[in-house]
Amino acid sequence: MNNSVYEADFQFPPPRDMPDGHEKQQLIALKAELIAARTREELLLGEMRAQATRQELLAQEFEHRLVNGLQLISSLLSMQARAATSPEVTAQLTMASRRVASLGRVHHRLHQSDQQEQVDFGPYIQDLCDDLSNLLFEGRADYSVDVEAASASIPSRLAIPLGFIVNELITNAAKYARGRIGVRFDKAKAGYFLSVLDDGPGLPPGFDPSKSKGLGMKIALALVKQIGGELHISPGEDGRGARFTVGFEAAPL
């Protein structure tokens, strides 16, 4: 047998055919297209990053303008309250001024953690209640907001509406409290429970929060629904006053 013929017939690996001129042109064109596609992708990613930066700056500017606007409205309401001749009008304007001011402070504090995915809710709610106490009671020693909060990390998308719920419930409780408002935050297997209780006269029998005409209660109910929670109402400690408890899960849909 002719070995040279045998080797030619069974050579392994088989020799690769070199591309002809047309195929080389196609390969060069394909490579150029891939480079162009990669360049377009890098440009698009750069534009997306620039757009995200612009949106963040716009959000910060909006936050700044909103807080300044709320402070201005609060100041105007306070001036109107001092100029009012009717005690009832003065009281209403004063309460409105405090509500707007507290919303501004709460909004600013809450959105300080807006860029975080998780919030340590214990210190968070304590600082928030300190702000509200100073705003609502203006340093009165006979009134206080006492906080007992378990340590728990919750999503910031929940912490923000919960902060506004606490703001509304404390603002409402301040109308009836005789001196003390309590805020409790507890963690259980079934979820989390956030309560606001006061030592006031309590709620009338058959009180239905969904039928309340108060703006604060309507806002609180809307926020509770937003986080997929439930609002429970019961007497306060030792059967005195009222207790509003919001139950919610750590990560609702």
Write down which residue in 80, 112, 144 finishes a domain. 112
Domain boundary among 94, 112, 130: 112
Structure tokens at 184: 């409790």
* Single residue among 112, 145, 178 that ends a domain in this structure: 112
Residues 167 and 98 occupy one common structural domain: no
Listed residue (231, 238, 233, 240) closest to 248, CA to CA? 231
pTM above 0.75, yes or no: no
Q: Is residue 87 predicted with pLDDT exceeding 80?
A: yes
Task: Find the domain containing 195 and state its range.
Answer: 117-253
Contact call for residues 198 and 244 (beta carbons, < 8 A): no
Give yes or no for residue 184 having a pLDDT over 90: yes
Q: How far apart are CA 199 and CA 178, in angstroms?
A: 6
Q: Could you read off the pLDDT of 116-152 as tens digits, one per residue?
A: 678 888 888 998 888 888 777 766 777 888 999 988 8
Domain co-membership, 191 together with 130: yes
Estimate the share of the chain in helix, then strand, then coil, as percent rounded to the nearest 5: 60, 15, 25
CB atoms within 10 A of CB 3: 7
Of the chain, the end-to-end C-alpha distance in Å amounts to: 79
- Report pLDDT digits (tens) over 195-241: 999 988 888 888 888 888 777 888 889 999 999 999 998 888 777 88
Same domain, 58 and 104: yes
Residues 6+ apart with CB under 8 A from 244: 169, 195, 196, 197, 220, 231, 232, 233
Residue 4 falls inside a structural domain: no
Q: How many domains does the chain have?
A: 2
Q: Are 231 and 244 a contacting pair, CB within 8 Å?
A: yes
